[in-house]
Amino acid sequence: MKDLFQFFKSKQFRIHFTISLLVGALVLWISFKSLDVYTHHGETIVVPDFANVKIAELDAFIADKTLKYQVIDSVFDAKVAPGVVIKQDPEKNSSVKQNRTVYLTVSAKLPPLVKMPNVVDASMRQALAMIESYGLKVGKRNYRADPCVNCVLAQYMKGIKIAPGTMIPKGSVIDLTLGRGQEGEKINIPCLIGSLYKEAIEEIAESGFSEGSVKCNDCKTDADRENAKVIRQDPPCSSENMLNPGSGIDLYLSKKSKITAADTASIYDEE
Protein backbone atom coordinates (compact mmCIF):
# COMPACT_ATOMS: atom_id res chain seq x y z
CA MET A 1 0.00 0.00 0.00
CA LYS A 2 2.87 2.36 0.93
CA ASP A 3 4.54 1.62 -2.40
CA LEU A 4 1.30 2.43 -4.22
CA PHE A 5 1.06 5.87 -2.59
CA GLN A 6 4.69 6.50 -3.47
CA PHE A 7 3.93 5.64 -7.11
CA PHE A 8 1.04 8.13 -7.23
CA LYS A 9 3.39 10.82 -5.95
CA SER A 10 6.10 10.00 -8.46
CA LYS A 11 7.02 12.17 -11.45
CA GLN A 12 6.55 9.21 -13.79
CA PHE A 13 2.89 8.80 -12.76
CA ARG A 14 2.18 12.49 -13.24
CA ILE A 15 3.68 12.40 -16.75
CA HIS A 16 1.71 9.28 -17.76
CA PHE A 17 -1.50 10.67 -16.26
CA THR A 18 -1.11 13.97 -18.12
CA ILE A 19 -0.39 12.16 -21.38
CA SER A 20 -3.51 9.97 -20.87
CA LEU A 21 -5.72 13.04 -20.32
CA LEU A 22 -4.38 14.74 -23.43
CA VAL A 23 -4.78 11.62 -25.57
CA GLY A 24 -8.33 11.08 -24.24
CA ALA A 25 -9.27 14.69 -24.95
CA LEU A 26 -7.81 14.42 -28.46
CA VAL A 27 -9.72 11.21 -29.18
CA LEU A 28 -13.00 12.79 -28.00
CA TRP A 29 -12.38 15.93 -30.10
CA ILE A 30 -11.68 13.86 -33.21
CA SER A 31 -14.78 11.72 -32.56
CA PHE A 32 -17.11 14.72 -32.24
CA LYS A 33 -15.60 16.41 -35.29
CA SER A 34 -16.02 13.23 -37.32
CA LEU A 35 -19.64 12.95 -36.18
CA ASP A 36 -20.33 16.56 -37.21
CA VAL A 37 -18.87 15.92 -40.63
CA TYR A 38 -20.83 12.68 -41.04
CA THR A 39 -24.16 14.21 -39.94
CA HIS A 40 -23.55 17.62 -41.58
CA HIS A 41 -24.12 19.26 -38.22
CA GLY A 42 -25.18 22.88 -38.61
CA GLU A 43 -25.72 22.48 -42.37
CA THR A 44 -29.33 22.78 -43.51
CA ILE A 45 -31.18 23.22 -46.79
CA VAL A 46 -34.62 24.66 -47.55
CA VAL A 47 -37.33 22.22 -48.62
CA PRO A 48 -38.75 23.19 -52.04
CA ASP A 49 -42.44 23.34 -52.89
CA PHE A 50 -43.50 20.01 -54.39
CA ALA A 51 -47.11 21.14 -54.97
CA ASN A 52 -48.53 20.17 -58.38
CA VAL A 53 -45.32 18.43 -59.47
CA LYS A 54 -46.26 15.39 -61.57
CA ILE A 55 -45.19 11.96 -60.30
CA ALA A 56 -43.25 11.28 -63.50
CA GLU A 57 -41.26 14.51 -63.03
CA LEU A 58 -40.24 14.03 -59.36
CA ASP A 59 -36.81 12.53 -60.13
CA ALA A 60 -35.92 15.43 -62.39
CA PHE A 61 -37.35 17.91 -59.87
CA ILE A 62 -34.94 16.84 -57.09
CA ALA A 63 -31.98 15.99 -59.34
CA ASP A 64 -30.08 19.13 -58.28
CA LYS A 65 -31.25 18.99 -54.66
CA THR A 66 -29.69 16.99 -51.83
CA LEU A 67 -33.04 15.50 -50.87
CA LYS A 68 -34.91 12.24 -51.22
CA TYR A 69 -38.64 11.67 -51.63
CA GLN A 70 -41.11 8.88 -50.93
CA VAL A 71 -44.76 8.71 -52.05
CA ILE A 72 -46.69 7.37 -49.07
CA ASP A 73 -50.35 7.97 -49.99
CA SER A 74 -52.78 8.91 -52.75
CA VAL A 75 -56.03 10.80 -52.29
CA PHE A 76 -58.71 11.52 -54.89
CA ASP A 77 -59.71 15.16 -55.31
CA ALA A 78 -61.94 16.07 -58.24
CA LYS A 79 -60.66 19.67 -58.10
CA VAL A 80 -57.02 18.64 -58.62
CA ALA A 81 -55.33 17.19 -61.70
CA PRO A 82 -54.59 13.46 -61.26
CA GLY A 83 -51.05 12.27 -60.55
CA VAL A 84 -49.65 15.42 -58.92
CA VAL A 85 -48.34 16.17 -55.44
CA ILE A 86 -50.99 17.66 -53.14
CA LYS A 87 -49.26 17.37 -49.73
CA GLN A 88 -45.71 17.09 -48.41
CA ASP A 89 -43.94 16.52 -45.09
CA PRO A 90 -41.83 18.48 -44.15
CA GLU A 91 -43.68 21.52 -45.49
CA LYS A 92 -42.17 23.81 -48.10
CA ASN A 93 -39.55 26.32 -46.86
CA SER A 94 -38.72 24.11 -43.86
CA SER A 95 -35.03 23.86 -42.94
CA VAL A 96 -33.78 20.26 -42.93
CA LYS A 97 -30.49 18.39 -43.16
CA GLN A 98 -29.16 17.16 -46.47
CA ASN A 99 -30.48 13.84 -47.78
CA ARG A 100 -33.67 14.21 -45.73
CA THR A 101 -36.61 12.21 -47.10
CA VAL A 102 -39.68 14.27 -48.01
CA TYR A 103 -42.90 12.25 -47.73
CA LEU A 104 -45.45 13.00 -50.42
CA THR A 105 -49.19 12.53 -50.91
CA VAL A 106 -50.36 12.56 -54.53
CA SER A 107 -53.74 12.92 -56.20
CA ALA A 108 -55.24 9.60 -57.28
CA LYS A 109 -56.09 9.15 -60.94
CA LEU A 110 -59.38 7.39 -60.18
CA PRO A 111 -61.91 8.09 -57.42
CA PRO A 112 -62.55 5.40 -54.80
CA LEU A 113 -65.63 3.23 -55.21
CA VAL A 114 -68.64 3.52 -52.90
CA LYS A 115 -71.88 1.57 -52.61
CA MET A 116 -74.97 3.08 -54.13
CA PRO A 117 -77.49 3.59 -51.31
CA ASN A 118 -81.18 2.74 -51.64
CA VAL A 119 -83.16 5.98 -51.63
CA VAL A 120 -86.30 4.60 -53.32
CA ASP A 121 -89.41 5.37 -51.21
CA ALA A 122 -87.44 7.95 -49.19
CA SER A 123 -88.51 11.58 -49.09
CA MET A 124 -86.52 14.09 -51.10
CA ARG A 125 -84.96 15.48 -47.91
CA GLN A 126 -83.89 12.00 -46.77
CA ALA A 127 -82.57 11.11 -50.23
CA LEU A 128 -80.45 14.27 -50.43
CA ALA A 129 -78.87 13.62 -47.04
CA MET A 130 -78.22 9.95 -47.79
CA ILE A 131 -76.72 10.51 -51.24
CA GLU A 132 -74.41 13.28 -49.98
CA SER A 133 -73.31 11.16 -47.00
CA TYR A 134 -72.01 8.56 -49.49
CA GLY A 135 -69.94 11.19 -51.30
CA LEU A 136 -72.32 11.29 -54.28
CA LYS A 137 -74.16 14.20 -55.90
CA VAL A 138 -77.81 14.70 -56.74
CA GLY A 139 -78.37 15.55 -60.40
CA LYS A 140 -81.61 15.98 -62.33
CA ARG A 141 -84.95 15.61 -60.64
CA ASN A 142 -87.77 14.35 -62.84
CA TYR A 143 -91.38 14.07 -61.73
CA ARG A 144 -94.23 11.77 -62.62
CA ALA A 145 -97.75 11.27 -61.33
CA ASP A 146 -97.76 9.29 -58.08
CA PRO A 147 -99.81 9.53 -54.87
CA CYS A 148 -96.62 9.96 -52.81
CA VAL A 149 -95.70 13.61 -53.34
CA ASN A 150 -91.94 14.25 -53.43
CA CYS A 151 -91.07 10.59 -52.73
CA VAL A 152 -88.23 8.97 -54.67
CA LEU A 153 -89.65 6.50 -57.20
CA ALA A 154 -86.42 5.55 -58.99
CA GLN A 155 -82.69 6.29 -58.97
CA TYR A 156 -80.55 6.60 -62.09
CA MET A 157 -76.92 7.09 -63.07
CA LYS A 158 -76.16 8.25 -66.62
CA GLY A 159 -79.71 7.46 -67.66
CA ILE A 160 -79.67 3.86 -66.39
CA LYS A 161 -81.45 2.60 -63.29
CA ILE A 162 -78.89 1.77 -60.62
CA ALA A 163 -79.49 -0.93 -58.04
CA PRO A 164 -78.67 -0.40 -54.35
CA GLY A 165 -75.27 -1.81 -53.42
CA THR A 166 -73.74 -1.24 -56.87
CA MET A 167 -70.14 -0.05 -56.56
CA ILE A 168 -69.76 3.31 -58.31
CA PRO A 169 -67.09 6.05 -58.33
CA LYS A 170 -67.30 8.52 -55.47
CA GLY A 171 -68.62 11.87 -56.71
CA SER A 172 -70.97 10.29 -59.28
CA VAL A 173 -74.15 12.18 -60.14
CA ILE A 174 -77.43 10.43 -59.27
CA ASP A 175 -80.64 11.48 -61.01
CA LEU A 176 -83.94 10.92 -59.27
CA THR A 177 -87.53 10.40 -60.33
CA LEU A 178 -89.98 11.81 -57.79
CA GLY A 179 -93.71 11.63 -57.24
CA ARG A 180 -95.70 14.78 -57.94
CA GLY A 181 -99.07 13.63 -56.67
CA GLN A 182 -102.12 12.93 -58.75
CA GLU A 183 -102.77 14.88 -61.94
CA GLY A 184 -103.88 18.42 -61.11
CA GLU A 185 -102.70 18.22 -57.47
CA LYS A 186 -100.99 21.42 -56.30
CA ILE A 187 -98.81 22.31 -53.30
CA ASN A 188 -97.74 25.50 -51.54
CA ILE A 189 -94.74 27.45 -52.82
CA PRO A 190 -91.90 27.92 -50.29
CA CYS A 191 -90.90 31.45 -49.27
CA LEU A 192 -87.24 31.94 -50.22
CA ILE A 193 -86.65 35.68 -49.83
CA GLY A 194 -83.54 36.33 -47.70
CA SER A 195 -82.19 32.78 -48.05
CA LEU A 196 -78.72 32.06 -49.37
CA TYR A 197 -78.71 30.59 -52.86
CA LYS A 198 -77.63 27.12 -51.64
CA GLU A 199 -80.32 27.11 -48.96
CA ALA A 200 -82.93 28.20 -51.49
CA ILE A 201 -82.25 25.43 -54.01
CA GLU A 202 -82.28 22.85 -51.22
CA GLU A 203 -85.64 24.18 -50.01
CA ILE A 204 -86.98 24.12 -53.58
CA ALA A 205 -85.96 20.47 -53.99
CA GLU A 206 -87.26 19.42 -50.59
CA SER A 207 -90.59 21.14 -51.26
CA GLY A 208 -91.11 19.15 -54.46
CA PHE A 209 -90.27 21.82 -57.03
CA SER A 210 -87.39 22.28 -59.48
CA GLU A 211 -84.92 25.11 -59.90
CA GLY A 212 -85.84 27.51 -62.68
CA SER A 213 -83.67 30.31 -64.06
CA VAL A 214 -81.21 32.00 -61.70
CA LYS A 215 -80.10 35.61 -62.14
CA CYS A 216 -77.57 37.62 -60.15
CA ASN A 217 -76.57 40.93 -61.76
CA ASP A 218 -73.84 41.74 -59.22
CA CYS A 219 -72.29 38.24 -59.11
CA LYS A 220 -69.02 37.86 -61.01
CA THR A 221 -67.97 34.38 -59.90
CA ASP A 222 -69.59 31.13 -58.79
CA ALA A 223 -68.47 31.93 -55.24
CA ASP A 224 -70.35 35.23 -55.43
CA ARG A 225 -73.50 33.38 -56.43
CA GLU A 226 -73.11 30.80 -53.66
CA ASN A 227 -72.97 33.62 -51.08
CA ALA A 228 -75.71 35.75 -52.64
CA LYS A 229 -79.20 35.98 -51.16
CA VAL A 230 -82.60 35.62 -52.80
CA ILE A 231 -84.22 39.03 -53.20
CA ARG A 232 -87.06 37.93 -55.46
CA GLN A 233 -88.69 34.69 -56.59
CA ASP A 234 -91.11 33.90 -59.37
CA PRO A 235 -93.75 32.80 -58.72
CA PRO A 236 -93.92 34.44 -55.29
CA CYS A 237 -95.03 32.54 -52.21
CA SER A 238 -98.43 33.11 -50.66
CA SER A 239 -101.12 31.09 -48.98
CA GLU A 240 -103.20 31.39 -52.14
CA ASN A 241 -100.45 30.68 -54.68
CA MET A 242 -99.94 26.97 -55.39
CA LEU A 243 -98.18 25.00 -58.12
CA ASN A 244 -97.98 21.48 -59.45
CA PRO A 245 -95.07 19.50 -57.92
CA GLY A 246 -92.00 19.65 -60.14
CA SER A 247 -92.74 23.16 -61.41
CA GLY A 248 -89.78 25.51 -61.73
CA ILE A 249 -89.17 28.49 -59.43
CA ASP A 250 -87.03 31.34 -60.78
CA LEU A 251 -84.60 33.05 -58.41
CA TYR A 252 -83.17 36.57 -58.41
CA LEU A 253 -80.06 37.06 -56.28
CA SER A 254 -77.86 39.84 -54.94
CA LYS A 255 -74.60 40.04 -52.98
CA LYS A 256 -75.79 43.07 -51.01
CA SER A 257 -76.13 42.38 -47.27
CA LYS A 258 -79.20 44.57 -46.92
CA ILE A 259 -81.84 44.75 -49.62
CA THR A 260 -84.83 47.07 -49.62
CA ALA A 261 -87.94 46.87 -51.76
CA ALA A 262 -86.58 49.77 -53.82
CA ASP A 263 -83.32 47.91 -54.37
CA THR A 264 -85.20 44.87 -55.62
CA ALA A 265 -87.15 46.90 -58.10
CA SER A 266 -84.03 48.71 -59.37
CA ILE A 267 -81.78 45.65 -59.59
CA TYR A 268 -84.27 43.58 -61.57
CA ASP A 269 -86.75 45.41 -63.76
CA GLU A 270 -90.04 43.66 -64.24
CA GLU A 271 -89.79 41.42 -67.28
Indicate the domain borders of the chain: 45-107, 111-185, 186-271
Report whether pLDDT(184) > 70: no
Alpha helix stretches (DSSP H) within the chain = 2-9, 11-39, 58-61, 124-133, 197-206, 222-226, 261-267
CATH code linked to domain 45-107:
3.30.10.20
Report whether pLDDT(3) > 50: yes
- Which band of pLDDT confidence, cut at 50, 70 and 90, is reported for residue 267? low
Q: Is 152 in contact with 176 (CB distance < 8 Å)? A: yes
**Fold: same for 111-185 and 186-271:** yes
Crossing angle of helices 124-133 and 197-206, rounded to 10°: 120
Measured CA to CA, the distance from residue 85 to residue 81 in angstroms comes to: 9
Cβ contacts of 50 within 8 Å, gap of 6 or more: 58, 61, 69, 85, 88, 92, 102, 104
Report whether pLDDT(86) > 70: yes
Cβ contacts of 92 within 8 Å, gap of 6 or more: 47, 48, 49, 50, 51
Report whether pLDDT(204) > 80: yes
Sign, CA torsion 123/129/134/137: positive
Q: What is the DSSP letter of 129?
A: H
Q: Which of 246, 245, 254, 249 is nearest to 235 (CA)?
A: 249
**CATH fit for domain 111-185, picks 3.40.50.2020, 3.40.1280.10, 3.30.10.20, 3.40.50.300:** 3.30.10.20
Q: Name the CATH architecture for the domain at 186-271.
A: 2-Layer Sandwich (3.30)
- Which band of pLDDT confidence, cut at 50, 70 and 90, is reported for residue 262? low
Taking residues 116-142, report their average pLDDT: 91
